[in-house]
Chain A
Amino acid sequence: MIQPSLSQSAIAPSTPRRYLKPSVFWSIRQGFPRWLSLLLIGVSLAIPLVLWSVVSYGGWVPPLFLPTPTRVLQAGWQMLTRENLLWDVWVSCGRVAGGFALAAIVGVAMGIAMGTFHSMESVFAPIVGTVRYMPVMSFVPLIVIWVGIGEDAKVLIIFLGVVLYNAVMVADAVKFIPNDMINVAYTLGGDRRDVLFRVILPATFPSILDTLRVNVSGAWNYLVIAELVAAKSGLGFKIIQSQRYLQTDKVLFCIALIGLIGLLIDYGLKALSRALTPWADQTRQ
């Protein structure tokens, strides 16, 4: 005889079943509503702005410590109209682009070589492992002696700042290619050249774009160090100069401007990577 009531009462109290509680806010890869994502973006932008406004307009801190948003915008308007700030933006973008392009070419090539060949890994690993820990700042005196104080020096500082990160991250991406994906090419008649150019390069291409997107922010970090070296223009130069005259409003505007440029680059590179790799997994959205 089947006695459902008995068996149920026998099981239910001894093993209380636990299920995953549904959650929208804390969802982990289970989909997320668009409106909530936009709302959270808005809130995360609004809170610091509101705090800033309250603290500065409320007169809680002296204007020298933290100027009001209006002051910052006025300072920005003045720099744009009267101090030719766009020229500084142009010059800084040029330095970052030059240094970063160089770091991308050298770093990606080095990373691919290190990830692909044991021999290249052995050749580069000691250099990459040690130099990566040396602060670029400490090389500045040497760079000035070696290449002077012209544009080369600034490009070189940015290059040195990011090239090894590019190399290490690309080398890691190569190592994530499954062995069998490479072996298939061999069993189809491919040689090492084919494997390098037709398997390893396309397989790592999305990761290379991701790496560059992450590391371009590093290039902007090193820009300010680079423009410490006898610069006469540039956003970093403007920040340093404004700091000397205690113009915190100008400092803040330049910092915000760098942030904005970074945001644009980030979205641009994301869109580029979506357009170039329609075949890649959806997890990167």
Chain B
Amino acid sequence: MPQPDSAPLSFMPSASEPLSAVHPPKLAVQAVGKTYVTRGKPLVVLDEISFELAAREFVCLVGASGCGKSTLLNIVAGLVPPTTGEVQVDGMAVLGPGADRGMVFQGYTLYPWLTVAQNIAFGMQLRKLPKAEQRDRTAYYLNVVGLTAFAQAYPKQLSGGMKQRVAIARALANEPEVLLMDEPFGALDAQTKEQMQQFLLNLWAQTHTTVLMITHDVEEAIFLSQRVYVMGSHPGRLTHQVSVPLPAARDLDIKLSPDFIAVKREVLHALRQEH
């Protein structure tokens, strides 16, 4: 049964209602469906998914493995065309990948032939920003992710956590409208992961980018976001929305607070109903 707090199927951001009436939402996913046909048999991976993100919101998407989270994020990024529905940024439909939606992938996707600084500057170079601006922004984001000392290092000289920090810096340095992240800390150990969560939260507080992040770690989702969407599988669809009534400034100790645990219970129950 649905929890009292979660309201299935109407997934509008609750925080900024007067704003969203005037401005279109930052990111809108409208009735997106995806069907793969393998050996003649259609497989419905995503079924009529709709949700919105307000500007400067941090929203996480949790769900069982194989429920279609990556497919959904790839559709939002424009890397995979949806079978039905559309994705809008600032009220305009997007027809393919573009610099307005930056993405951080689960695996390590740094370019091994570029140094850390060159990796961070890659997007700005593609968009032919002035050289001076590229240098300034690269230096700024190197500092933000704490890797100034490694500016001239090659990715093979970095640890997993450092690589992911560079990947996040590379996406942010391009100043996307929306930052998409697909289990960016999935491959990290528990301690590094917590450091990265705190780092990401501070980063978001500084830049106020709109973030849509996938994770299978419920605590991570609650710690980072204002809202958590729970996805069910076969076919993939949004089943619950859980808002996170925690203060904006959080530290890792909050994971032990009763409020946090109450939200966690709610999300876990929502996830369990899908099995």
Contacts and interface: CB of A to CB of B under 8 A. Distances in A.
Interface in B104-120: 105, 107, 109, 111-114
B82 interface: no
B112 A178 contact: no
A187 B182 CA distance: 13
A187 B113 contact: no
Nearest to B79: A183
B79 A187 contact: yes
A199 interface: yes
Given A188-B123, A189-B127, A202-B111, A180 B174 contact: no
A123 interface: no
Interface in A130-186: 178, 180-181, 183-186
Contacts of A180: 105, 107, 109
Interface stretch (B83-91, B93-101, B132-140, B240-248): B93-101
Contacts of B79: 183, 186-187
A202 B107 CA distance: 19
A280 B112 contact: yes
Contacts of B74: 183
Contacts of A278: 154
Given A183-B103, A184-B103, A281-B156, A189 B109 contact: no
Contacts of A178: 107, 109
Interface residues of A, number: 23
B115 to A, nearest CB: 8
Given A178-B107, A281-B156, A190 B126 contact: yes
Contact of B113 (A183, A188, A202): A202
Contacts of A203: 111-113
Given A178-B107, A183-B105, A203-B113, A189 B99 contact: yes
B113 A205 contact: yes
B105 A189 contact: no
B170 A188 contact: yes
Nearest to A195: B126
B77 A187 contact: yes
B63 interface: no
A187 B103 contact: yes
B122 interface: yes
Contact of B102 (A187, A194, A281, A282): A187
Contacts of B113: 202-203, 205, 277, 279-280
A239 B78 CA distance: 62
Interface in A186-242: 186-190, 194, 198-199, 202-203, 205
B156 A185 contact: no
Contacts of B112: 203, 279-281
Contact of B97 (A186, A199, A282): A186
Nearest to A183: B79
A187 B179 CA distance: 10
Contacts of B78: 186-187
A282 B112 CA distance: 12
A199 B111 CA distance: 8
A187 B109 CA distance: 12
Given A189-B98, A202-B113, A194 B154 contact: no
Nearest to A190: B126
Nearest to A282: B156
Most buried by B among A178, A180, A189, A194: A189
A143 B78 CA distance: 51
A198 B109 contact: no
Given A203-B113, A278-B154, A188 B105 contact: no
Interface string B8-22: 000000000000000
Contact of B122 (A183, A188, A281, A282): A188
A203 B105 CA distance: 18
Most buried by A among B123, B155, B174, B176: B123
B150 to A, nearest CB: 14
B101 to A, nearest CB: 6
A199 B110 CA distance: 11
24 contacts: A178-B107, A180-B107, A183-B74, A183-B109, A184-B105, A185-B126, A186-B78, A186-B97, A187-B98, A187-B103, A187-B171, A187-B180, A188-B102, A188-B126, A188-B127, A188-B171, A188-B174, A189-B126, A189-B127, A190-B126, A198-B122, A203-B111, A279-B155, A280-B113
8 closest residue pairs by CB, A with B:
A189-B99, A188-B123, A186-B97, A187-B103, A279-B154, A180-B105, A202-B113, A190-B126
Interface of B: 74, 77-79, 96-99, 101-103, 105, 107, 109, 111-114, 122-123, 126-127, 154-156, 170-171, 174, 176, 180
